Amino acid sequence: MSNKIPRLLWLAALFVLAVVVVACAPAEPTKAPTVAKKIVIGFTASQTGKLNVESKKQIQGLELWKDHVVKAGGIKLKDGTVLTPEFKFYDDESSTDRVQALYTKLINDDKVDFLISPYSSGSAKAAAVVSEQYGKIMITAGAADDATMEQGFKNTYQTYTPASRYLTGAIDLLAKFDPAAKKIAIVHEKDSFSTSVAKAADPYAKSKGYNVVLLEGYDSGTTDFAPFINKIIAAAPDAIIGGGHFADGTTFAKQLYEKKVTAKVVALLVAPPEPKFTEIGDAAQNIVGPSQWEPLATFSEDAAKKAGFAWYGLSAADFTKDYKAKYNEEPSYHSAGGYVAALILQKAIEDAGSTKPDQVRAALDKMDLLTFYGRVKFSTEAKTHGKQVAHDMVYMQWQKDASGKLVKQMVWPLEAKTADWQPRK
Amino acid sequence: MNIEALLASSIDGLMLGFVYGLAAMGLTLIFGVMKVINLGHGPIIALGMFIVYLVATQLGLNPYLGLVIALLLGLAFGIVVYFLAVHRVINAPELTTLLATFSVNLMIIGVGTVVFTTTPRALAIDLGTWQSGVITVLGTKAVAVVIAVIVTGALYAFLYRTRVGKSIRAVANNRAAAELMGINSTWVLALSFGIGTMLAMISGGLLATLFSFTILSGGIYELKSFVIVVLGGLGNPTGALVGGIVLGLLEGITTIFIPVGWVPVIEYVVFVLIILVRPTGLLGAR
What is the pLDDT at residue A1? 45
B134 and A219 in contact by Cβ < 8 A?
no
Mean pLDDT for A301-330 is 89
- Which residues in chain B are contacts of A224 at CB distance < 8 A? 16, 210-211
pLDDT at A326: 96
Whether residue B256 and residue A223 make contact (CB cut-off 8 A), yes or no, is: no
The residues facing A375 across adjacent strands are A370
Mean pLDDT of all residues in B201-226:
93
Gap between the Cα atoms of A236 and A352, Å rounded: 55
Interface check for B136 against chain A (CB to CB < 8 A): the answer is: yes
A195 Cα to chain B: minimum distance (Å): 14
Chain A residue numbers with beta carbons less than 8 Å from the beta carbon of B131 are 260
pLDDT digits (tens, 9 = 90+) for B70-112: 999 999 999 999 999 999 999 888 899 999 999 999 999 999 9
Helix (H) or strand (E) holding A172: helix A168-177
pLDDT tens digits, A370-395: 999 988 999 999 999 999 998 988 89
Instruction: Give the pLDDT band (50/70/90) at residue B237.
Output: confident
What stretches of B215-257 show up as alpha helix (H) in DSSP?
A: 218-232, 237-257
> Which residues from chain A sit within 8 angstroms of residue B263, using beta carbons?
227
Beta bridge pairs of residue A187 = A216, A242
The sign of the dihedral angle between the CA atoms of A275, A277, A278, A284 is: negative
- pLDDT for the residue numbered B53: 95
A10 pLDDT higher than 70: no
Q: Is B107 helix (H, G, I), strand (E, B) or coil?
A: helix
Percent of chain B whose predicted confidence (pLDDT) is above 90? 70
- Residue A70, pLDDT > 80, answer yes
Q: Given CB atoms, is B217 within the 8 Å cutoff of chain A?
A: yes
Contact check, Cβ <8 Å, B259/A216: yes
Long-range pairs for B174-180: beta carbons < 8 A, 24 or more residues apart? none
Give the SS3 label for residue A411.
strand
User: From the candidates A195, A214, A230, which should be mutated to test the interface with B, based on the most B CB atoms within 10 A?
Assistant: A230
What pLDDT score does B286 carry? 45
CA distance A184 to chain B (A): 17
Best residue in B16, B221, B250, B260 for a mutation probing chain A (most A CBs within 10 Å): B260
B100, A29 Cβ separation under 8 angstroms: no
Task: Supply φ then ψ for residue A88, to 5 degrees.
Answer: -130, 115
Q: A400 vs chain B: nearest CA distance in angstroms? A: 21
Domains A35-161+296-377 and A165-291+394-416 share a fold: yes
* Residue A279: predicted pLDDT: 86
Preferred mutation among A50, A123, A223 to probe B, highest tally of B CBs within 10 A? A223
Residue B120 to residue A50, Cβ atoms within 8 A: yes
Residue B131 confidence (pLDDT): 84
Instruction: Write a three-state SS string for A204-269.
Output: HHHHCCCEEEEEEEECCCCCCCHHHHHHHHHHCCCEEEEECCHHHHHHHHHHHHHCCCCCCEEEEC
Q: Which of residues 222-251 of B touch A (CB under 8 A)?
A: 251
Q: Which residues of A touch B213 (CB under 8 A)?
A: 223
pLDDT tens sequence across A97-154? 999 999 999 999 999 999 999 999 999 999 999 999 999 999 999 999 898 999 999 9
Q: What is the pLDDT of residue A8?
A: 57
Q: What angle do CA A252, A255, A260 make, to 5 degrees?
A: 125
- In chain B, whose CA is at the least distance from the CA of A279? B124
- Alpha-carbon distances of A168 from A92, A412, B93, B118, rounded to whole Å: 32, 11, 60, 33
Smallest Cα–Cα separation from A206: which of A171, A241, A177, A170? A171
CB A20 within 8 Å of CB A65: no
**Predicted confidence band of residue A3 (pLDDT cuts 50, 70, 90):** low
Give the nearest partner residue to A230 out of B5, B118, B138, using CB atoms.
B5
* Residue bearing the bigger pLDDT, A23 or A79: A79
Q: Per the CB < 8 Å rule, is B5 touching A233?
A: yes
Are A227 and B260 a contacting pair at CB < 8 A? yes
Closest in A49, A219, A251 to B119, CB measured: A49
Collect all residues of chain A within an 8 Å Cβ-Cβ radius of residue B265.
Answer: none
What's the pLDDT tens digit per position in A221-241?
Answer: 899 999 999 999 989 999 999
Is A346 touching B (CB cutoff 8 A)? no
pLDDT value of residue A413: 79
Distance from CA of B149 to the nearest CA of A (A): 21
pTM here? Answer: 0.78
Q: Tell me the domain boundaries of chain A.
A: 35-161+296-377, 165-291+394-416
Task: List phi, psi (to 5°) of A409.
Answer: -130, 150
Cα A311 to Cα A308: distance, rounded to the nearest angstrom: 9
Name chain B contacts of A231, Cβ cutoff 8 Å.
Answer: 5, 9, 255-256
pLDDT for residue B126 is more than 90: no
For residue B278, name the pLDDT band (cuts at 50, 70, 90): confident
CB–CB contact B129 A258 (8 Å): yes
Query: Chain A within 8 Å of B122 (Cβ-Cβ)?
Result: yes
DSSP annotation of B275 reads H
Across the beta sheet with A183-189, the strand order is A211-218, A183-189, A239-243, A265-268, A287-291, A394-400, A406-412
pLDDT digits (tens, 9 = 90+) for B2-17: 788 889 899 999 999 9
**Chain B partners of A218 at a C-beta cutoff of 8 Å?**
260-261
If one compares B214 and B282, the residue with the highest pLDDT of the two is: B214
* Chain B contact set for A226 (CB, 8 A): 9, 12, 16
SS (H, E, C) B117-158: CCCCECCCCCCCEEEECCEEEEHHHHHHHHHHHHHHHHHHHH
C-alpha–C-alpha distance, residues B21 and A295, integer Å: 49
A226 touches chain B (CB under 8 A): yes
What is the model's pLDDT at position B79? 97
ipTM for the predicted complex comes to 0.83
Angle ∠(A386,A388,A390) on CA atoms, nearest 5: 135
Q: CB-CB: which of B136, B213, B260 is closest to A228?
A: B260
A413 prior amide bond cis, ω within 30: yes
Across all residues in chain A, what is the average pLDDT? 90
* % of chain A residues with pLDDT over 90: 70
CB A255 within 8 A of CB A281: no
Looking at residue A138, its amino acid is M
The size of chain A, in residues, is 425
What's the confidence (pLDDT) of residue A17?
59
CA dist B222 and B210 (Å) reads 17
Dist CA B24 CA B7 (whole Å):
25
Neighbours of A38 (CB within 10 A): 11
Grade residue A91 by pLDDT with cuts at 50, 70 and 90: very high
Instruction: Please determine, for residue A175, whether its predicted confidence score (pLDDT) is greater than 60.
Output: yes
Mean pLDDT of B257-271: 90
Contacts of B217 in chain A (CB under 8 A): 223
If one counts every other C-beta atom within 10 angstroms of the C-beta of residue A11, the result is 10
Output the CA–CA distances (angstroms, integers) from residue A46 to A72, A191, A275, B50, in the order listed: 29, 17, 18, 21
- Name the more confident of A50 and B187: B187
Superfamily for domain range A165-291+394-416? Response regulator (3.40.50.2300)
Residue B1 pLDDT: 57
Instruction: Tell me what the mean pLDDT of segment A71-89 comes to.
Output: 94
Measured between alpha carbons, how far is B41 from B202 in angstroms, rounded to an integer? Answer: 12
Bridge partners for A156 per DSSP? A138
Check if B94 contacts A (Cβ < 8 Å): no
Q: Which residues are CB-neighbours of A288 under 8 A, at least 6 positions away? A: A170, A173, A265, A266, A267, A268, A272, A395, A396, A397, A411, A412, A421
The class (CATH top level) of A35-161+296-377 is alpha beta
B132 touches chain A (CB under 8 A): no
Per-residue pLDDT reduced to its tens digit, B127-180: 888 888 778 899 999 999 999 999 999 999 999 999 999 999 999 989 999 999
For B177-193, give one letter per residue: b (16+ CB within 10 A) or e.
ebeeeebebeebbbbbb
The C-alpha atoms of residue A181 and residue A198 are separated, in whole angstroms, by 19
Residue-level pLDDT at A16 = 60
Residues 6+ apart with CB under 8 A from A5: none
Q: What's the distance, Cα to Cα, between the start and end of chain A in Å?
A: 115
Among A216, A219, A234, select the one facing B2 at the smallest CB separation. Answer: A234
Residue B196 pLDDT greater than 50, yes or no: yes
Return the ∠ at Cα A349 (arms to A348 and A350), rounded to 5°.
90
Q: How confident is the model at residue A49 (pLDDT cuts 50, 70, 90)?
A: confident
Question: Which residue of chain B is at minimal alpha-carbon distance from A259?
Answer: B136
Q: Which domains are delineated in chain B?
A: 3-277 (1.10.3470)
What strands, in cross-sheet order, belong to the sheet with A75-76? A75-76, A81-91, A35-45, A114-116, A138-140, A156-158
- What residue of A is the nearest CA neighbor of B261? A218
Q: Collapsing DSSP states into helix, strand and coil, what is residue A408? A: strand
Read out DSSP for B193-218? HHHHHHHHHHHHHHHHTTS-B-TTTH
